[in-house]
Amino acid sequence: MLKTAAKAGGLADRFRRVRATSAELAVGLSPEDQVVQSMPDASPVKWHLAHTTWFFETFLLSPNLPGYRPFDPAFGYLFNSYYEAVGARHPRPRRGLVTRPGVAEVAAYRDHVDAAMLTLLERGDAERLAPLVTLGLAHEEQHQELILMDLLHLFSCNPVAPAYRPYRPALRGPAHEGRWIAVDGGIVAVGHDREGGGEGFAFDNEGPRHEVLLRPFRLFSRAVTNGEWLAFVEDGGYRNPALWLSDGWATVNAEGWEAPAYWRRGEDSGWREFTLLGEHPLDEDAPVCHIGFYEADAFARWAGKRLPTEAEWETAAGTVLGSGLSPTGNTLGSGLLRPVAAARGDGLVQMFGDVWEWTASAYSGYPGFRPAAGAVGEYNGKFMANQYVLRGGCCATPDGHVRATYRNFFYPHQRWMFSGVRLAEDA
């Protein structure tokens, strides 16, 4: 009984911390900041705060807490994202039109659900519900990163270039010049061993663990920098169709791309970059950020290299972590809110944090993958088409959220996320 109570208490503490972090991300934002939707792929801050609350109300409180009454029955329609099994939902591109409920009412909704969840976690069945609560917390951490992605896009549309947070300089030494790191090939195991009792939480798309055959390869020790990408721009990389996949070249022309998202030409001072900290001169030593798969693939071809597969990336990351080590890097807890130049070091650096790294791997299920039963099975499996995998986390990813097996995924033309690239080559 004491062991169960301790587990329940630990889960309740984690619930409080994760929920508090989401609220903290909205501190300093006006109601207007929180209601606007800048493009169909983005969502208002208010919607993120309400949707993560809807998750706990829908999947945990309503079925498991006797006598629980939903805060507002209309919220089930307004704040469902894509769970078809749950019911109808408000169209995603029109989330910014939902001016009511307001920010204060969404805050009250969060308080209502938080109080009920803590009551639920104090009951004797907390251990039974722990896997679903943990999924809900991981889901909320994903939306914390989405809040920052969507805010950056929103503020970039504002002519006055507002800053989300004050600029904070990063401590830095000499730039990491980079070198090629050899990784042995062979039959290697990748993926999380969820079914076999692997340690820690993992999403269903991270397993089953399985074996793949890798040829020996080399991975560059750090991510591609802004300075290296600037050379690609100045060499006409965005004007050379020979470098691009057909769909990529069509996208470049349709969208008028000439540089990564949020790069801006200064009138007299060269390229500048818009960030969560406002607009600043381009830091040529920092990792390039906000590029799509099409751009990453074209750059690799221009450089005479290639993108790593996700199995190669994960295998290399395993050599960084060693046995039992947790991933660390420039993630949300650093407070920098932007990628920064790699510090000098031996071997591979920046594998975790700074920027998500595009891989050459299409997002699909591993051998033997089966989505979970019920509505929560819609979480990942239904999106396994026409997207590519990214690895490693970024400067907006909550601390402790990513693993070597973590699979992020986006469409090849998307680039409002904190995405970059690391090069690979055959040995």
Instruction: Specify whether 30 is located in the same domain as 69.
Output: yes
Residues 6+ apart with CB under 8 A from 200: 403
Asked, for residue 317, whether it belongs to a domain, the answer is yes
3-state secondary structure of 266: strand
Instruction: Specify whether 39 is located in the same domain as 139.
Output: yes
Asked, for residue 201, whether it belongs to a domain, the answer is yes
Where residue 40 falls among pLDDT bands split at 50, 70, 90? very high
Enumerate the β-bridge partners of residue 354: none
Q: How many whole angstroms separate alpha carbon 94 and alpha carbon 97?
A: 6
Asked, for residue 245, whether it belongs to a domain, the answer is no
Specify the residue for token string 């070198």: 179
Q: What are phi and psi of 193, to 5 degrees?
A: -85, 60
Where residue 61 falls among pLDDT bands split at 50, 70, 90? very high
CATH of the domain at 309: 3.90.1580.10
Q: Mean pLDDT, to the nearest integer, of 310-339?
A: 88
Asked, for residue 333, whether it belongs to a domain, the answer is yes
Asked, for residue 51, whether it belongs to a domain, the answer is yes
Residues 6+ apart with CB under 8 A from 423: 219, 220, 224, 300, 303, 305, 306, 307, 308
Asked, for residue 169, whether it belongs to a domain, the answer is no
Task: Supply the pLDDT for residue 32.
Answer: 97
Instruction: Specify whether 88 is located in the same domain as 219.
Output: no
| pLDDT tens-digit series, residues 348-363 | 999 999 999 999 999 9
| pLDDT tens-digit series, residues 94-122 | 999 999 999 999 999 999 999 999 999 99
Per the structure, the count of domains in the chain is: 2
Per the CB < 8 A criterion, the answer to whether 164 and 276 are in contact is yes
Residues 6+ apart with CB under 8 A from 348: 181, 219, 221, 222, 316, 317, 319, 320
Nearest to 120 by CA among 165, 188, 57, 195: 57
Domain enclosing residue 195, as ranges:
180-226+255-426
Task: Supply the pLDDT for residue 85.
Answer: 87
Task: Supply the pLDDT for residue 168.
Answer: 84
Instruction: Specify whether 97 is located in the same domain as 217.
Output: no
Task: Supply the pLDDT for residue 76.
Answer: 96
Is the pTM higher than 0.75?
yes
Task: Supply the pLDDT for residue 1.
Answer: 37
Instruction: Specify whether 146 is located in the same domain as 217.
Output: no
Instruction: Specify whether 29 is located in the same domain as 151.
Output: yes
Q: For residue 166, give the amino acid letter.
A: P
